[in-house]
Structure 1
Amino acid sequence: MKKYIHVVEDNEDIRYIVEFFLSDYDYEVQLSANVKDFISSMQGPLPDLYLLDVMLPDGNGLEICKHIKTNERTKHTPVIIMSAHSNENEVRTEGCADDFISKPFDLHDLVARIEKHLHGHHS
């Protein structure tokens, strides 16, 4: 069964690269470009992991992260935050993400982190 990853990222190039790369690793990928897209996706099937960008045109990934972690259906789903702007401490003090990756990131590093959370994760 394919693992399903939801990527929230407003930069089209990054979205494309991440989707392309992850599907190479046999992941099923869903993409949202903003908070609005993300909210409407919550009605559908839930992913195994969320990959969230912090800076979004209509909000930010930390808000989405809080939303995921306070929602009964999704609170055990691992969340990786990616950001070029905020430092790791800020993300960790927000207290919601399971992991943090700073941009620009190495795609192999990204996959390694995703695998760690999907396969090494025991809640």
Structure 2
Amino acid sequence: MEKHVLIIEDDQEISELFGVIFELADYRTTLLTIAPDPVYMSEQNFQLIITDIRLVGSKYNGNELCRLFKLQYPEDKTPILLISAESNGDILARECGADGFMHKPFNIDDLLVCASEMMA
């Protein structure tokens, strides 16, 4: 099965970088610069969702989106990885039920290992 990753990052350049990283590692990616509705996330059959916490211009921040998704679709076990430079990002990730957290800046190899483990 092809591994499909949803990446939600409001910074266009960072979003494109994520796309390149995952596509070079043979993942299919969907890149969004604003947070989608949780129903979209459930309907698309992603194997991993990666979102920044701070999403400027979005209806939800990444941690809010994660919390809503987990509450509205408890049967959907798609892992969610929050990524942020926020100093309390790990706490926000824990509080919203995220499956993982990485600080920005991050090591690309660490990101790919983390993603692979979360999709296993």
Return the letter of the residue paired with 1:90. L
Alignment of 1:43-122 (within 5 A): 44-57=43-56, 58=58, 59-72=60-73, 75-87=76-88, 88-92=90-94, 94-119=95-120
Displacement after TM superposition at 1:54 (Å)? 0.3
Q: 1:63 to 1:40 in 2, by over 3 A?
A: closer
- Identity of paired residues, percent? 28
Secondary structure at the residue paired with 2:51? strand
Q: How many residues align structurally? A: 116
Return the letter of the residue paired with 1:55. R
Report runs of 4+ in structure 1 exceeding 2 Å deviation. Answer: 71-75
Give the RMSD, CA atoms, in angstroms: 1.9
Secondary structure at the residue paired with 1:100? strand
* Structure 1 counterpart of 2:40: 42
Q: Name the TM-score, length of structure 2 as normaliser.
A: 0.87
Displacement after TM superposition at 1:41 (Å)? 7.4
For structure 1, the 5+ residue unaligned runs are none
Q: Name the TM-score, length of structure 1 as normaliser.
A: 0.85
